[in-house]
Structure 1
Amino acid sequence: MIDIEHLETWVGRSETLRDVITPFPSNALAATLNRDEIYQDGAALPPLWHWLHFLKVFKLADAGYDGHPTLGGFLPPVPLPRRMWAGSRLRFAAPLRIGEAIEKTSAIASVRHKAGRSGDLVFVTVRHVYGADARIEEEHDIVYRDAAVADAPVSDAPVPDAPVAVPVMAPDTWDFAREMVPNPVLLFRYSALTFNGHRIHYDLPFCTGTEGYPGLVVHGPLLATLLLDLLRRQLPDAVVTDFEFRAIAPVFDTAPFTVHGAAVDDGYRLWIRRADGALAMDAKAVVT
């Protein structure tokens, strides 16, 4: 039973984190993505690499069964076992830079409940502002769901609400693309860089047994990072001003996937295509 009125009392709750943007996380992520650049003091963080900073450290004793921190503090205590990053909307006014001390303010913007034949869904939207001058503004959607359907869609896009998920198929034309092999080392490195203890990204017996997944789950923010990494490789001098993405279906380490991009009227559509042709993530970037 979802007590949505109780969960809604978390709306407006806020917290502030402070961090110094050190070079190691960026250099480690660059190496993980097989990039050659070295980041030093004064260098600008690429878009989405701010997710390597402002990490909340919690005691191991405070972790839940899945490795995430237990709920009921800043985030509402949603009584559903699966938690996933459903999407984000970001605006980049100016980059964060190596060596700077930055403040991040977060607030619970909304809590929504949706029920259907595939089970309960609760969407929590958190608004983040980075820097006193709001250099980055982000709305982050978190989805909580039942454990019944391992491959069900994870966003609230208009997809069939059925006990067995019908995949949304990815576009079959694009302007540029890149194949990715999601091996466990890639997933482990990204988990380490983001202090993400969620066992679905590194604990195979947990994934295939407890969670019923076919393999390790590729992080949603890693997929989003790979989308903008593809755009940077294609347009190295472009400046991303706006970016939004929605997770449509999970990606596993059981098969390669492809990252795609295509020019549209006011920017670029970017997406993740699974090996079975399903659309896993859909995104839009505005560049100058």
Structure 2
Amino acid sequence: MIPPRRLQRLVQVAASPQCYKAYLPCRQYSSNALDFETLRTSMLSRPEKLTYDILSPTPTHLLNISLSDFLPPSCHPPIFNPSSALSSGLSPSKATPPQPLPEAHHLVYFPPQLPASGLTPDGTDPFHSPGAPFDRRMWASGSISFNKPLLVNRQQVVCRESLGDVTVKGRPGEEKIFVDVWRRYGEDDGFVAGEEAITERRSLVFLRRRSAEEAREVAREGVRDGRVVKAPHKPTFNHTLLPTSTLLFHYSALTFNAHQIHLNPTYCREVEGHRNLLFHGPLSLTFMVSVLRSQLGKDERVKKIDYRNLAPLYAEEPLTVCVRQNGNGEDMADGHKKWDVWVEDSRGGLCVKGSAVSNSA
């Protein structure tokens, strides 16, 4: 076992964005030794990060435009009209009162504020990373509670981000490190836990890097893999779309996301072992919320959603977003409704599994 003081040296983060690389270990882990407790203690000591943004209508408007070719009109937010938006652009009347930010649209605000030199080798934020050789990051699961609306009123809001837990799974040499990221969004950075407008948990998994030959072999096996896990239910509503590389680029740009698995096909094949660009985890979540929204009543809104990414989705391959009301269509005692929402690939395989709760606005 590597001595703890040699394994990890965490330096104080300075004001310069480049200094976020100080979160990464100064030494790499050996192939068969991982001092997990030292790693966990070090990661959980990273200070809370505050990211400020202005709730301008531009990001949510551009997200609506980006999704408009891939969703039927019933799945668009009520405030978005594709025909008028595409012909006249964003020109709201000064008399129009501020509108609530559509659910899941907060994901295109509060981006990582780092230059390319401050990112990890795969183009991601080092704040979440355990360091080399765990250089491959995937979005595993998460949950979002929409506690109260954030208004698109051009006012400053804040995201308070911290690491909630770090766990390791797998045998020595094949470990997977799971990192829970908590993000709380509110109008004032002085809010206390429980008072935020949106509460979000993201579970990221970090995997050991692959050699070029390992990546090519994994890609070949993925093409040959005939296993399909089906959803346990039939949907009451579904929508099929063909995600393009342009859609993935637009979403990466809106989220200031330089993760190479969404942008670089060569990187996907030769480093990660995937046959094509990967569909973003938060983008699949956005589609799930959008399709679910189409099944809600006029005064209903999504209150909470939990989801788990089970298998990759790829650009240029059809996917289907599915929804069904849980509990035989009956409302819960408090008037809320439960929903199953999931995403299938072109073979009908279950790739994202979710459950949601809606209530009256």
**Equivalent residue for 2:313, pick from 251, 266, 280:** 251
Partner of 2:273, secondary structure, is coil
Give the letter aligned to residue 30 of structure 1: N
Matches within 5 A, 1:78-97: 79-97=133-151
Q: 1:197 aligns to what? A: 258
Cα deviation, residue 120, structure 1? 1.6
Cross-structure match for 1:272: 343
Q: Tell me the amino acid that sits aligned with residue 55 of structure 1.
A: P
**Aligned partner letter, 1:268:** W
Q: Is the 2:128–2:181 Cα contact (8 Å) retained in structure 1?
A: no
- Equivalent position SS for 1:276: coil
Structure 1 or 2: larger strand share?
1
Secondary structure of 1:26's partner? Answer: helix
Q: What's the secondary structure of 1:169's corresponding residue? A: coil
Kindly tell me: are residues 95 and 78 of structure 1, through their superposed partners in 2, closer, same or farther at Cα, counting changes over 3 Å? Answer: farther
Q: Is the 8 A contact 1:114 1:122 kept in 2?
A: yes
Residue in structure 1 matching 2:170, options 111, 115, 129: 115
* Structure 1 counterpart of 2:135, one-letter code: P
Cα distance, 1:260 vs structure 2: 0.2
Worse-superposed segment, 90-99 or 77-86: 77-86
Name the residue aligned to 1:5. Answer: 37
Tell me which amino acid in the other structure corresponds to 1:119: E
Query: What amino acid is the match of 2:136?
Result: R
Distance 1:275 1:65 in 2: 31
Pair 1:284–1:74, CA change in 2 (3 A): closer
Moved more, 174-183 or 230-239: 230-239
For residues 321 and 352 of structure 2, the distance between their equivalents in structure 1, rounded to whole angstroms, comes to: 9
Amino acid at match of 2:50: T
Question: Measured at CA, do residues 118 and 221 of structure 1 come closer, stay the same or move farther in structure 2, by a change above 3 Å?
Answer: farther
In structure 2, the partner of 1:128 is 183
The 1-side partners of 2:134 and 2:269 are apart by: 19
Q: Give 1:208's match in structure 2, choosing from 259, 264, 269.
A: 269
2:228–2:347 CA contact under 8 A, matched in 1: no
Aligned to 1:145: 207
Distance 2:174 2:306 in 1: 26
State the distance in 2 between where 1:202 and 1:171 align: 33
Within a 5 Å distance, the mapping from 1:177-188 to structure 2 comes to 177-188=238-249
- What are the superposed Cα offsets for residues 216-241 of structure 1, whole Å, 9 maximum, x if unpaired? 10001000100011011232632111
Alignment partner of 2:167: what SS? strand
1:30 to 64, 68, 74: 64
- Provide TM-score, normalisation by structure 2: 0.70
Instruction: Tell me if the contact between 2:343 and 2:350 (Cα under 8 Å) persists in the aligned partners.
Output: yes
Q: Which residue of 2 aligns with 1:20?
A: 54
Question: Which consecutive residues of structure 1, in runs of 5 or more, have no partner in the other structure?
Answer: 152-163
Q: Return the letter of the residue paired with 2:67.
A: L
Letter in 2 for 1:200: I
Report the number of matched residues: 274
Amino acid at match of 1:33: L
In structure 2, do the counterparts of structure 1 residues 76 and 66 end up closer, same or farther at CA, with 3 Å as the change threshold?
Answer: closer
Q: CA deviation at 1:60?
A: 1.6
1:64 deviation in Å? 3.0
Residue identity opposite 1:50 in structure 2: H
TM-score where L is the length of structure 1: 0.87
Q: Which runs of 4+ in 1 moved over 6 A?
A: none
Deviations 1:148-171 (A, max 9, x none): 6858xxxxxxxxxxxx89553234
* 1:104 and 1:128 in contact (8 A); partners too: yes
Percent of aligned positions that are identical:
29
* Kept after mapping to 2: 8 A contact 1:2/1:79: no
* 1:161 corresponding residue in structure 2: none
1:254, distance to aligned residue in structure 2 (A): 4.1
Structure 1 pair 53/80, CA: closer, same or farther in 2 (3 Å)?
A: same
Quote the offset at 1:48 in angstroms.
1.3
Give the counterpart of 2:290 among 229, 250, 274. 229
2-structure distance, mates of 1:142, 1:94: 26
> How far 1:118 moved relative to its partner?
9.7
Structure 2: stretches of 5+ with no match in the other structure: 1-32, 69-75, 220-224, 328-336
Q: Measure, in 1, the Cα distance between the counterparts of 2:37 and 2:103.
A: 36
Measured at CA, do residues 175 and 118 of structure 1 come closer, stay the same or move farther in structure 2, by a change above 3 Å? farther
- Aligned position for 1:77: 131
